[in-house]
Structure formats: structure tokens, C-alpha cells
């Protein structure tokens, strides 16, 4: 597979370059000092790209200030603006960052309008040398695509192809593409589909940004990321990666570098990360049905890898976003509490999401959702329907459990 090389502010992604590791701030972008401090921390810890949330046009001046302050302080790590929905925000911020991350399918409910807005953004990015990540997540595809193909890996790849064709028509080559899901099988299949489609049509692919979104935290978040990302890297798909954890962002870098450098047969495979990178792809690809009992990794780790590869579920499946500048409550603490109090359940998928803007769309196939609304309030979802709104955070886990146990 031939991959185009993309230069993002001096960092080369794709071609024959090593996998680039990136992460994302969870500060509020309007707190410029805190965001500058976190970007600096992440950069000094090795992050090769750092993404920040840009909720709206009102934040563009802050992004510019963050960028300027970092450069003045000698931090040259490229910045990526994370935008949902608003093409105007993307267009306005593009001159001040090295890359913008967008899902053009969410720019406008009318597909023709969304295409026009995307072309305008490409024009600005061409002028300023800004790269674009076309970032499509399972669960937040545009209605145009889901009406045609459902919410499947095939639909994700088809959606990406629409935007890739527009980039090609506009002769715009600074493009990176991601197709994330919290479900490792869905995510792996989506990237594979796209690699096939793109190669068949153009003979080459734009670089892939690979990640398991809403992977959660602690061991299970790391293991899920190893299983999904490593499966793709081992077959040559993936040029930049992010491990998304519901933890301080700096914690994402160590597992990400481990996965980026993992080499089957050469890297050890009895540690938590090593075992997940080694056994996960074999399970996910159905080359084996069980981890051998003499693998030397213990039952707990074997169970976790089996669950991350979606081969056997021995505890609830959790989906939790990492949080970002849109999060207005203590997401990490809430997720820990939800996990602790639901650990006895089985055959259930529970999502804990940082914001009401993107959370409900992104929690995809969760049975229950705990979604932050803003200042200390939570909405509780059953599937994708809100069943309780404006619940004070201190009561929300009780309410969630009552609902799950059928007491409400």
C-alpha cells in the first residue's frame, strides 16, 4: 500500500516515516494559560502533535494566543484544532494552527451545502499550508451516509471516500483520515475497508490516524487501544496514533509510544501492553480462539484481552470519552464511580461521556449513557434516548443504577 507523505508543521506523517504519536488537551480553551501549560507539558513529554478543542468562533482568538505563546516559549509542536459541526469555526481557525480536525458530514444537514463548506475550508487550508484530518467516528456519521449504508464500517469508509474525492478534485494533498470506534472490530474493519477502496480508486492512500475512541481508562483502556491499534499497525495501516484515555492526557503517551514501537516477535509480550499487542490481533483476526494457558500472563490479563478483542465478555463493557475542552464536570471521577458501582453487572454496555454536544452521538451502541450536560448536571440515556435530564451529578450514579435495575 502506497501512503502519501503529509507535512504537518514539520512533522512528517505517512510515506515511510515512523508512526507519529499524538494526544489532546482536556483544558478549556478559553483558559489560555492552562491550555498553554498543558500543551507545553505534553510536548516536553514527547507528544509529536497536540490537539485542542475549538468549540466555536468565539475561541479562535484564544487559539491564536495559545499558538503564539507556545512558539514564543520555544515549543514548536504542531497544534491541531478539534472542531465539531461548525465549518465557519474551522475556516476561521485554520490560519492559526498546523492542522484542523473536522467531520465534514456534520457541517450541514444538506449534503450539497456540506460539500460547499468543505471546499471553502480546503481553499483556506491551501492558502495557509494547514493540513486537514477528516475524522469520522462510528456513531457520528452524517445522516446522508447512514441513510444510504447504515452505521457500519463500510459506511464509515464510504463517507471518508466522498471527502477524499473532493480533496483530490481540489488537488489538496495535506490530508489525514481517521475512522474511529470504541468497538475494536468495527474500527479495524473500517480502516481496512477504506485502505482497500482508496487503493483501488487512486493507487495510494492518505495517511491514517488510528485510534480506539472512548476506550475508557486504566488497564482496560490501554488494552483496548493496544488490541485495535496494534492489529492495524501490524498489517501496515496507521501513520499517526492516539491512545484515548479518560485520564490526564500525559498518561496517553507511554502506551502510545509502546504500541507505535511494538514489533511482533521482537518486543516482549508478557507485560500488560506487550501481551495486548501480541495476543490481541490474533484474537481479533480469529487466528486463535483462546490465549494459550502457558502464555505466562495470568487469568486477569487474558480475560481483559479477550474482552478488548470482543471474543468473550466477562464484565460490563465501558465506553468513556477522554474529556476535552467541552467537559464541564469531573468526568474522571464520575467514570471511576460508575465502574465501581456497576462492576457486578454483565452483558451490558455503559457509556460515560463528557459533553451533551457530542457524547450522545458518539456513544454508539451503549445500552446506557451517563452524559455530562454542563455545570454539575447529567443526562441519563437508555440506548440513544434521554430518560432523565438535569440530574445533579451527586445523584446521577444512583439514578443510573435504579434505572438499570428497573426501579424507575
- Residues lying near ligand SF4 in the complex (CB under 6 A): 321-324, 326-327, 353-355, 357-359, 362
Q: 223 or 355: whose CB is closer to ligand SF4? A: 355
DSSP state of 19: P
Please, are residues 210 and 178 in contact by the beta-carbon 8 Å criterion?
A: yes
Determine the straight-line distance between the first and last CA of the chain, rounded to whole angstroms. Answer: 54
> How near is the Cβ of 8 to ligand SF4 at its closest, in Å?
21
Query: Least distance to ligand SF4 from the beta carbon of 58, Å?
Result: 16
Q: How many CB atoms lie within 10 A of CB 91?
A: 20
Contact 242/211 with Cβ under 8 angstroms? yes
Nearer to ligand SF4, 28 or 282 (CB): 28
Q: Say if residue 398 is exposed, middle or buried (CB neighbours under 10 Å; 0-12, 13-18, 19+).
A: exposed
Rounded to the nearest 5 degrees, what angle is found at the Cα of 38, between the Cα atoms of 36 and 43?
95
Minimal CA–CA distance to 190: which of 209, 175, 171, 203?
209
User: Looking at beta carbons only, is 14 or 325 nearer to ligand SF4?
Assistant: 325
Neighbours of 136 (CB within 10 A): 28
C-alpha 79, offset from chain centre: 16
Phi, psi of 81 (to 5 degrees): -90, 125
CB of 321 to ligand SF4, least distance (A): 3
Q: In what order do the strands lie in the sheet with 209-210?
A: 175-180, 131-137, 99-102, 79-82, 49-53, 20-24, 240-241, 209-210
Q: In this chain, which residue has its C-beta nearest to ligand SF4?
A: 354
Task: Report the residue number, 14 or 369, with the smaller CB distance to ligand SF4.
Answer: 369
Nearer to ligand SF4, 273 or 324 (CB): 324
CB of 374 to ligand SF4, least distance (A): 11
Tell me how far, at minimum, the Cβ of 296 lies from ligand SF4, in Å: 36
CA distances from 290 to 300, 305, 307 (A): 13, 10, 11
Q: In the complex with ligand SF4, which residue's Cβ is closer, 102 or 164?
A: 102
Find the shortest distance in angstroms from Cβ 101 to ligand SF4.
Answer: 11
Q: Provide, for the chain, the percentages of residues in helix, strand and coil under a 3-state DSSP scheme, each rounded to the nearest 5.
A: 45, 20, 35
In this structure, the number of other CB atoms found within 10 A of the CB of residue 233 comes to 23
Q: Which residue has cell 451529578?
A: 393
In the complex, the smallest distance separating the C-beta of residue 30 from ligand SF4, rounded to whole angstroms, is: 15
Query: Nearer Cβ to ligand SF4, position 8 or 363?
Result: 363
Cβ at position 279, least distance to ligand SF4 in Å: 29
Nearer to ligand SF4, 39 or 164 (CB): 39
CB 25 to ligand SF4: min, Å: 11
**Pairing label, strands 377-382, 368-374:** antiparallel
| Minimum CB distance to ligand SF4 smaller for 252 or for 304 | 252
Amino acid at each position: 500500500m502506497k501512503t502519501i507523505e503529509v507535512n504537518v508543521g514539520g512533522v512528517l506523517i505517512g510515506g515511510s516515516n515512523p508512526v507519529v504519536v499524538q494526544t489532546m488537551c482536556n483544558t478549556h480553551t478559553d483558559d489560555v494559560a492552562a491550555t498553554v501549560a498543558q500543551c507545553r507539558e505534553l510536548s516536553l513529554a514527547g507528544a509529536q502533535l497536540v490537539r485542542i478543542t475549538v468549540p466555536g468562533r468565539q475561541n479562535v482568538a484564544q487559539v491564536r494566543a495559545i499558538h503564539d505563546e507556545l512558539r514564543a516559549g520555544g515549543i514548536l509542536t504542531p497544534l491541531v484544532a478539534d472542531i465539531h459541526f461548525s465549518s465557519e469555526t474551522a475556516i476561521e481557525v485554520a490560519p492559526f494552527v498546523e492542522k484542523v480536525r473536522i467531520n465534514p458530514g456534520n457541517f450541514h444537514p444538506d449534503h450539497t451545502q456540506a460539500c460547499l463548506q468543505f471546499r471553502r475550508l480546503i481553499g483556506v487550508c491551501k492558502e495557509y499550508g494547514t493540513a486537514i484530518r477528516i475524522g469520522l467516528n462510528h456513531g457520528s456519521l452524517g445522516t446522508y451516509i447512514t441513510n444510504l449504508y447504515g452505521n457500519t464500517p463500510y459506511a464509515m469508509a464510504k463517507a471518508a471516500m466522498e471527502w477524499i474525492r473532493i480533496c483530490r478534485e481540489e488537488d489538496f494533498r495535506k490530508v489525514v483520515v481517521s475512522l474511529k470506534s470504541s468497538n475494536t472490530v468495527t474500527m479495524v474493519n473500517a480502516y481496512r475497508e477504506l485502505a482497500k477502496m482508496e487503493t483501488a480508486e487512486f493507487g495510494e492512500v492518505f495517511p491514517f490516524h488510528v485510534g480506539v475512541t472512548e476506550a475508557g481508562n486504566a488497564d482496560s483502556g490501554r488494552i483496548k487501544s493496544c488490541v485495535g491499534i496494534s492489529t492495524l499497525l501490524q498489517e501496515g495501516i496507521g501513520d499517526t496514533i492516539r491512545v484515548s484515555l479518560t485520564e490526564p492526557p500525559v498518561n496517553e503517551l507511554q502506551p502510545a509510544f509502546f504500541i507505535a514501537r511494538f514489533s511482533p516477535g521482537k518486543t516482549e509480550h508478557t507485560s500488560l501492553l506487550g501481551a495486548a499487542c501480541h495476543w490481541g490481533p490474533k484474537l481479533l483476526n480469529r487466528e486463535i480462539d483462546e490465549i494459550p494457558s502457558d502464555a505466562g500472563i495470568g487469568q486477569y490479563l487474558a480475560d481483559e484481552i479477550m474482552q478488548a478483542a470482543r471474543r468473550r465478555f466477562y464484565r460490563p463493557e465501558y465506553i468513556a470519552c477522554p474529556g476535552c475542552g467541552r467537559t464541564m464536570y469531573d468526568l474522571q471521577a464520575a467514570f471511576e464511580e460508575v465502574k465501581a458501582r456497576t462492576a457486578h453487572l454483565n452483558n451490558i454496555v455503559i457509556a460515560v461521556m463528557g459533553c451533551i454536544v457530542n457524547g450522545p452521538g458518539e456513544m454508539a451502541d451503549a445500552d446506557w449513557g451517563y452524559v455530562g450536560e454542563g455545570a454539575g448536571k447529567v443526562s441519563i440515556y437508555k440506548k440513544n434516548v434521554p430518560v432523565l435530564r438535569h440530574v445533579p451529578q451527586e445523584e446521577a450514579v444512583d439514578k443510573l443504577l435504579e434505572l438499570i435495575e428497573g426501579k424507575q
